[in-house]
Amino acid sequence: MKYNKAEILAELIQNLNDELTVIEQASRAAREAATHEESKPEDQYDTRGLEASYLAGAQAQRAAEIQGNIRTLHSLGALKPSEGKAAIGAIITLAMEETNSTYILLPVGGGVRLSNSITVVTPASQLGKELTGRKVGDTFILQLRGQEKEYELLNIF
């Protein structure tokens, strides 16, 4: 199967932009709640305003992280076909027992499953570490949830 890497990146960026919109809205709502008249403490044990400000801060931090991820993906430019080894931008098909799964190796966005059934994996993940530098035909074993699973690299695009 042929894949359009530009479309895959565009979909991931759109997913991140959608997530960013939701996080920014939630952050604004939490910030408003933290500063609202009703959030003023009624006594020394009333922490509603403080809790809302912590939430707003955490959401703002997540928004900044997502913005950084989007910048990182934009900085990749056009992803070229892989040259025989699994590296950033490679689309990889793995076989495990009777199941084949397809992944794209990217620096950010790990765990996102895209509409074409491709899952983003990062080099920082256990699977990404095992994949990086491998070639078609390579096999490896991963310890997942207390069980060993053997994988074979079927294709790199």
Q: Is residue 99 part of a domain?
A: yes
Mean local confidence (pLDDT), 118-125: 97
- On whether residue 138 sits in a domain, the answer given is yes
Q: What CATH number has the domain bearing residue 150?
A: 3.10.50.30
pLDDT > 80? residue 109 = yes
For residue range 4-50, list pLDDT tens digits in order: 999 999 999 999 999 999 999 999 988 888 787 776 777 777 787 78
80: in domain: no
Task: Tell me the whole-structure pTM to 2 decimals.
Answer: 0.87
Residue 131 pLDDT > 80, yes or no? yes
**30 contacts 52 by C-beta, under 8 angstroms:** yes
My answer on whether 99 and 47 are in the same domain is no
Question: Which residues are bridge partners to 25 per DSSP?
Answer: none
Sheet holding 99-105, edge to edge: 118-121, 99-105, 91-96, 147-156, 139-144
Quick one: pLDDT at residue 14? 98
Domain count, the chain: 2
Answer yes or no: is 83 within a domain: no
- Report how many helices (DSSP H) and strands (DSSP E) the chain contains, helices first: 3, 5
Task: Place 145 in a pLDDT band, splitting at 50, 70 and 90.
Answer: confident
pLDDT bucket at 52, cuts 50 / 70 / 90: confident
Residues 53, 28 share a domain = yes
Cα–Cα distance for residue pair 84/151, rounded to 1 Å = 17
Q: 102 to each of 22, 44, 152, how far by Cα in Å?
A: 28, 55, 12
Number of other CB atoms surrounding residue 103 within 10 Å: 20
Both 102 and 57 in one domain: the answer is: no
pLDDT at res. 104: 97
Domain that holds residue 13: 5-75
> Residue 19's pLDDT is what?
97
Give tens-digit pLDDT for 55-98.
989 999 999 999 999 999 999 988 887 788 999 999 999 999 89
* Among the listed residues 68, 27, 23, 30, the one whose alpha carbon sits nearest the alpha carbon of residue 49: 30
Mark whether 95 and 141 lie in a shared domain. Answer: yes
One domain, residues 97 and 125: yes
Distance in angstroms (rounded) separating the CA atoms of residues 36 and 50: 11
Strand partners, 50: none
